[in-house]
Amino acid sequence: MVESRHPVQTLERALEIVETIQELDGAGITEVAERVDIGKSAVHNHLNTLADEGYIDKVDEQYYIGLSFLSLGSHARKRMSIYDTAKEEIDKLANETGELVNLLVEKNGKGIYLYQSKGENAVELDTYEGKRVHLHCTGLGKAILAFRPEEEVEAILDRHGLPDVSANTITDRDELLDDLEAVQEQHYAIDDEERLNGLRCIAAPVTDENDRSVASISVSCPVHRVDETRFFETLPDAVLGTANVIELEHNYS
């Protein structure tokens, strides 16, 4: 994680405003000003500038993320070789399991959903390509953390903490580190309603030649529809098999 020694405060504010609007899925000037703790006139000026360039859309008195960000995100994703390598295998796994299959990468200590594929029975969630999440509360994130150096994991936890996002979220650092040790041993991670109530996930890392995680994949399914045998035996085998294929193609093709 690289942090600027001389951050530009105006740019930081603009990005904070954009992220707030994304998080709220649309917001007015007053709401944004309260969130970022700056004056309404400053927020108004930022929003108007962003709107003029197509990065923010104004509908009545609400502001939303504009389509100009789509071009930037698509360009950034195409530059990542793991996306091209994994996409076809992710689609295959979604068709095979009938569930929602995800590809996640880590950036600046958080997870970013890079690609999703929906099987015929896939559950509809709040996730989408480009969404950022904390790593500690998802199987995808834990699969990535388990295959990173200890000092890097500690730095991520120091920076982002362990916020409680559901009743089952692990918020104790020692408990999380114990969980990551188990992930290392079995090579897959479990998210048992740790980010969303009613949702279970099985995730596996995609590692490079040095056994460092570069991404992770998961199968997500509602608790009421998956029995213990499928969740703890069938799905882990399927996820691990797909992760292995992606690793081989990513590292040696």
The pairing of strands 100-107 and 189-192 is unpaired
Q: What is the phi-psi region of residue 43: left when phi exceeds 0, alpha when psi lies from -120 to 50, beta otherwise?
A: alpha
CATH topology of domain 80-252: Beta-Lactamase (3.30.450)
Examine the pLDDT at 133 and tell me if it is beyond 80: yes
Is 19 exposed, middle or buried, given 0-12, 13-18 or 19+ CB atoms closer than 10 A? middle
Q: What is the pLDDT of residues 172-189, one digit of tens each?
A: 999 999 999 999 999 999
Its pTM stands at: 0.80
Examine the pLDDT at 4 and tell me if it is beyond 70: no
CA angle, corner 231, sides to 119 and 249, nearest 5? 60
Amino acid code (one letter) for 240: L
Q: What is the pLDDT of residues 27-52, one digit of tens each?
A: 899 998 888 888 889 888 998 888 88
pLDDT score of 75: 63
pLDDT bucket at 3, cuts 50 / 70 / 90: low
In contact, 153 and 173? CB cutoff 8 Å: no
DSSP string, 201-226: EEEEEEE-TTS-EEEEEEEEEEGGG-
Domain boundaries defined on the chain: 9-71, 80-252
Is 181 exposed, middle or buried, given 0-12, 13-18 or 19+ CB atoms closer than 10 A? exposed
Is 143 exposed, middle or buried, given 0-12, 13-18 or 19+ CB atoms closer than 10 A? buried
pLDDT bucket at 253, cuts 50 / 70 / 90: confident
CA angle, corner 119, sides to 78 and 250, nearest 5? 35
pLDDT bucket at 145, cuts 50 / 70 / 90: very high
> Which class in CATH covers the domain with range 9-71?
mainly alpha
pLDDT bucket at 142, cuts 50 / 70 / 90: very high
- Which tokens is 56 given? 């923010």
pLDDT score of 48: 87
